[in-house]
Amino acid sequence: MEIRGMPARDILRYISSGEVSAAEVVETYLDAIREIDPQTNAFIEVLEPAARADASRIDKELRDGGSPGILAGLPVAIKDNICVKGAGCTCGSKILENWIAPYDATAARRLREQGAVIIGKTNMDEFAMGSSTETSAYGVTRNPWDLSRVPGGSSGGSAVAVAAGMAPLALGTDTGGSIRQPASFTGICGLKPTYGLVSRYGVTAYASSLDTVGPFGEGVWDCALLLEVIAGHDPLDATSHAKEPVTYTKALDGNVAGLRVGVPQELLRGVSAPVKAVFESTLSTMEDMGMIVEEMSLPSLAHAVEAYYVIAAAEASSNLARFDGVRFGRRADAGTLDEMYTRSRGEGFGKEVIKRIILGTFVLDTGNKDRYYRRAAQVRTLIKDEFQKAFERFDLIVSPAAPDVAFKIGEKIQDPLTMYLADLITIPVNMAGVCALSMPMGFAECDGVSLPCGLQIIGKPFDEQTVLRAGYCLEQEIGAGIREKVRHMRQNLGPVRECELVD
């Protein structure tokens, strides 16, 4: 039985029935990591002994008639800015290269409580600052569709782990598109939940008012299942909302006919012709399914990128102040205290992080706070108000998830303005605090290569059910051809280990 690449739902069914053991499933994915990760560099740390021990414990519990949880035996990869007790948490930075997390983040704890096996920590742009996973101190992560291209960022490692078949599910974080853009570039699904739905406790902060933890999966059902586990109020997180638990997987089956869908023209500016053609075809499919698709406008989105980078940099400069070689982070040898601070941060942080810290410190300076930070906060309020008014008319808002397909490694890293504009489509969702799903909508040609591109489905605050239902129903219409291409891509990456049925 070919386990690697099998939908999470099927893996869980085989484990619970005893046809395959959790240990066999974990071994299959550990083998896949050994075979494929040297090509992609998706993992910073693989937790082999702990994963095997957890799988053995789950198998024993199942044999004894116990109920380990709804994720029993399912491997999950976790972005390396989310704490997993006993594992490193580098945030893709040298400054934390030797730090071991003494506790589980709430999201990681909830995974364990439902029987998930945490298989490894994934690569990322340093402190989640990047859109390509090129700024990691642990090397560039490569896109499995074309190893010369980026997987997107900052959660590129988690996206590649799922896309390449090295883990059925993964967790990432999304501050300005860091789940949705990598999902688009790698041909999988990624969900940015409503701000406050998933606890941020135990997640190293980049921009505290924007950061969100969310799931990656090959399909929409996978994301719904993982969200079901990690969502919910957490008293350890002051920004956590007290919402009733939702069984998101049960919300997937339903009628989407009559849903009102808005297409903001501001989110189509700069979209490449090949991606736009796929998007327009997808809109036609949605109309054929009975959805009502209309053009609309959100004028304030024209200022979203500028406002985002002011707010995010300001919050980053505050959050990263603790990494000084005294409170947290590696300490450089130096003759004086000032020299120690300078060398610890200068040697520990990469160029992108230093650049954003400097920018954030500048905009928070006494003379600049009113000129930059407060104006950015006002723009954020305008964006939030416009989304609120739009959702009085529409059930969903859709756009491409990224303006183009994955770009070449090194193509944009020296041009930060071009790199920042790549987040133009995803940033407004974080600024408004709403939810959004990125799902594969097809393939676009680039330099003679067919590469995946994603659809972004944006929903009202805490209305993940409608977003996931629309995505799931659309996936049934267009997903078969996409899944076939995914299987072909994985076959080209490396051999697949097969599990024998348990007698």
Q: For residue 482, give its domain range.
A: 8-302+377-493
Cα 374 to its chain centre, rounded Å, is 29
* Comparison of pLDDT for 495 and 393, the residue scoring more: 393
Domain assignment present for 416: yes
Domain assignment present for 457: yes
Domain assignment present for 314: no
pLDDT band at 448 (very low <50, low <70, confident <90, very high): confident
**pLDDT value, residue 501:** 45
Any idea which of 37-46, 168-177, 232-241, 321-330 has the lowest mean pLDDT? 321-330
Region 199-203: mean pLDDT is 98
Q: Is residue 136 among the annotated active site residues?
A: no
Catalytic residue among 79, 192, 412, 460: 79
Q: Is the four-CA dihedral 311, 316, 321, 324 of positive or negative sign?
A: negative
Domain assignment present for 339: no
Domain assignment present for 333: no
Angle formed by the axes of helices 304-319 and 351-363, to 10°? 100
* DSSP structure class, residue 471: H
Any idea which of 89-93, 152-156, 350-354, 496-500 has the lowest mean pLDDT? 496-500
pLDDT band at 367 (very low <50, low <70, confident <90, very high): confident
Domain assignment present for 307: no
3-class DSSP state of 248? helix
Catalytic residue among 132, 136, 178, 184: 178
pLDDT band at 474 (very low <50, low <70, confident <90, very high): very high
How many residues in the chain? Answer: 503
The Cβ of residue 408 has, within 10 Å, a number of other Cβ atoms equal to 14
Residue 495 has pLDDT above 70, yes or no: no
Strand-strand pairing, 449-459 and 396-400: antiparallel
- CB-based contacts of 309, cutoff 8 Å, min separation 6: 359, 420
Alpha helices, H only, 291-394:
304-319, 337-348, 351-363, 374-390
How far is residue 258's CA from residue 252's CA, in Å, rounded to a whole number? 16
The Cβ of residue 417 has, within 10 Å, a number of other Cβ atoms equal to 8
Can you give the CATH number for the domain in which 420 is found? Answer: 3.90.1300.10
Residue 496 has pLDDT above 60, yes or no: no
How far is residue 190's CA from residue 472's CA, in Å, rounded to a whole number? 13
* Comparison of pLDDT for 493 and 502, the residue scoring more: 493
Any idea which of 251-255, 286-290, 339-343, 413-417 has the lowest mean pLDDT? 413-417
Alpha helices, H only, 164-215:
180-186
Give the chain's mean pLDDT.
94
**Cβ atoms 159, 216 nearer than 8 A:** yes
- Count Cβ neighbours within 10 Å for each residue of 283-310 and write b for 16 or more, e otherwise: beebeebebebeeeebebbebbbebbbb
Which amino acid, residue 201? Y
**Cβ atoms 159, 152 nearer than 8 A:** yes
**Cβ atoms 83, 125 nearer than 8 A:** no
Residue of 49, 185, 141, 45 lying closest to 101 (CA atoms): 45
**pLDDT value, residue 503:** 35
Domain assignment present for 335: no
**pLDDT value, residue 4:** 86
How far is residue 131's CA from residue 305's CA, in Å, rounded to a whole number? 13
Residue 500 has pLDDT above 60, yes or no: no
Number of domains in the chain: 1
Region 294-314: mean pLDDT is 96
Model-level pTM? 0.96
pLDDT band at 415 (very low <50, low <70, confident <90, very high): confident
**Cβ atoms 165, 492 nearer than 8 A:** no
Residue 499 has pLDDT above 60, yes or no: no
How far is residue 165's CA from residue 30's CA, in Å, rounded to a whole number? 11
How far is residue 323's CA from residue 89's CA, in Å, rounded to a whole number? 13
Q: Output the CA–CA distances (angstroms, integers) from residue 498 to 137, 169, 194, 314, in the order listed.
A: 35, 19, 38, 50
Domain assignment present for 285: yes
First to last CA, the chain: 13
**pLDDT value, residue 494:** 67
Strand-strand pairing, 43-46 and 449-459: unpaired
Cα 151 to its chain centre, rounded Å, is 11
Q: Is residue 412 among the annotated active site residues?
A: no
**pLDDT value, residue 335:** 86
- Count Cβ neighbours within 10 Å for each residue of 16-41 and write b for 16 or more, e otherwise: beeebbbbbbbbbbbbbbebbbeebb
Measured at the CA of 358, the angle between CA 352 and CA 360, to 5 degrees, comes to 100
**pLDDT value, residue 245:** 85
pLDDT band at 127 (very low <50, low <70, confident <90, very high): very high
How far is residue 192's CA from residue 176's CA, in Å, rounded to a whole number? 10
* 52 HSE (CA, 13 A, CB side): 7
Over residues 212-268, the pLDDT tens digits come to: 999 999 999 999 999 999 999 999 999 999 988 899 999 998 889 999 999 999 999
Over residues 110-125, the pLDDT tens digits come to: 999 999 999 999 999 9
**pLDDT value, residue 502:** 44
Catalytic residue among 154, 158, 240, 438: 154
Phi, psi for residue 191 in degrees, rounded to 5: -115, 125
* Comparison of pLDDT for 5 and 421, the residue scoring more: 5
**pLDDT value, residue 244:** 85
Residue of 81, 76, 78, 107 lying closest to 169 (CA atoms): 76
How far is residue 268's CA from residue 454's CA, in Å, rounded to a whole number? 13
Q: Strand runs (DSSP E) across 200-252, as ranges? A: 212-217
Q: Is residue 389 among the annotated active site residues?
A: no
* DSSP structure class, residue 95: G
**Cβ atoms 180, 426 nearer than 8 A:** yes
pLDDT band at 498 (very low <50, low <70, confident <90, very high): low
How far is residue 418's CA from residue 353's CA, in Å, rounded to a whole number? 17
Region 137-160: mean pLDDT is 97
Any idea which of 60-69, 161-170, 328-337, 455-464 has the lowest mean pLDDT? 328-337
The Cβ of residue 393 has, within 10 Å, a number of other Cβ atoms equal to 10
Residue 280 has pLDDT above 60, yes or no: yes
